[in-house]
Amino acid sequence: MLELFLSAFVTLFVVIDPPGCAPIYAGLTSGATRAQARSMALRASLIAGVILLIFALFGENLLAALHIELDAFRIAGGIMLFLIALDMVFEKRTQRREERAERVKATPEVEDVSVFPMAMPMIAGPGSIATMMLLMSRSEGTGQTLMVLGALGAVLLLTLLALIAAGPLMKLLGASVEAVITRLLGVLLAALAAQYVIDGVKAVLSS
């Protein structure tokens, strides 16, 4: 059980990437008060949590309705996560996030960034949704399901704390340290993604 929790936690932490979200959020809320920034961070984390929970609980039924086998989804999800990992290693993901944040900042009438772009697609994006569905597809029984959901809750809590402390955190870490962390997480995610593909291929060949 503990191994499943740690595996789910590490995977979700790497995909959601709280250290990578923090500087983006700091830039988006640069004109907001501390109270407003905390409020938006809380809403963003809660909304993202609801979105990911819905896909975690009902994603398998959605796949069944579309006549998609879980093994096929494991392979496709692994490939998707591997592409995200490549973007992290070469900093393309961070660049796209910053460009999206700049577009939001350039629109004066958009003040609340909790729903877009923070909750979705930055926290509950295609990668994290696919990851939750992959993790749930590998869970057997109520105990393992609760472990995966517990890992999601822990990562979302860390994300909330990272968003709240975004300003001071960026001053402490600096851009260079953040870039190193992102690259290291990208390498780890690439290995996890490869394992998903291997598991899916093994299951298909053995069936």
Q: pLDDT tens digits for 193-204?
A: 888 789 889 888
Q: Report the pLDDT value the prediction gives residue 97, as an integer from 0 to 100.
A: 65
User: Residue 39 and residue 23: Cα distance in Å, rounded?
Assistant: 17
Nearest to 15 by CA among 117, 128, 159, 173: 128
Average pLDDT score, the chain: 83
Q: Is residue 187 in some structural domain?
A: yes
Q: Report the pLDDT value the prediction gives residue 35, as an integer from 0 to 100.
A: 87
Here the tokens at position 32 are 């907001």
Q: Is residue 34 in some structural domain?
A: yes
Cis peptide before 117 (omega within 30 of 0): yes
Binning pLDDT at 50, 70 and 90, where does residue 175 land? Answer: low
Q: Is residue 139 in some structural domain?
A: yes
Q: Report the pLDDT value the prediction gives residue 63, as an integer from 0 to 100.
A: 80
Q: How many distinct structural domains can be found in the chain?
A: 1
Q: Report the pLDDT value the prediction gives residue 130, as an integer from 0 to 100.
A: 86
**What average pLDDT does range 10-34 have in this prediction?**
83
Q: Report the pLDDT value the prediction gives residue 104, as an integer from 0 to 100.
A: 63
Nearest to 14 by CA among 191, 131, 189: 189
Q: Report the pLDDT value the prediction gives residue 73, as an integer from 0 to 100.
A: 76
The reported pTM is 0.75
Q: Report the pLDDT value the prediction gives residue 42, as an integer from 0 to 100.
A: 96
Contact between residue 134 and residue 75 where contact means Cβ atoms under 8 Å apart: no
Here the tokens at position 47 are 């909304």
Q: Report the pLDDT value the prediction gives residue 110, as an integer from 0 to 100.
A: 43
Nearest to 131 by CA among 59, 65, 62, 41: 59
**What average pLDDT does range 50-60 have in this prediction?**
92
Q: Is residue 146 in some structural domain?
A: yes
**What average pLDDT does range 177-190 have in this prediction?**
75
Q: Is residue 207 in some structural domain?
A: no
Q: What percent of the chain lies above the pLDDT cut of 70?
A: 86
CA dihedral of 135, 140, 141, 145, whole degrees rounded to 10: -10
- pLDDT tens for 73-115 read 778 878 887 887 787 788 776 666 666 666 666 655 445 889 8
- pLDDT tens for 117-173 read 889 878 998 788 889 998 998 888 899 999 999 999 999 999 999 999 877 766 676
Domain containing residue 161:
2-202
* Interacting residues of 142 by C-beta distance below 8 A, sequence separation 6+: none
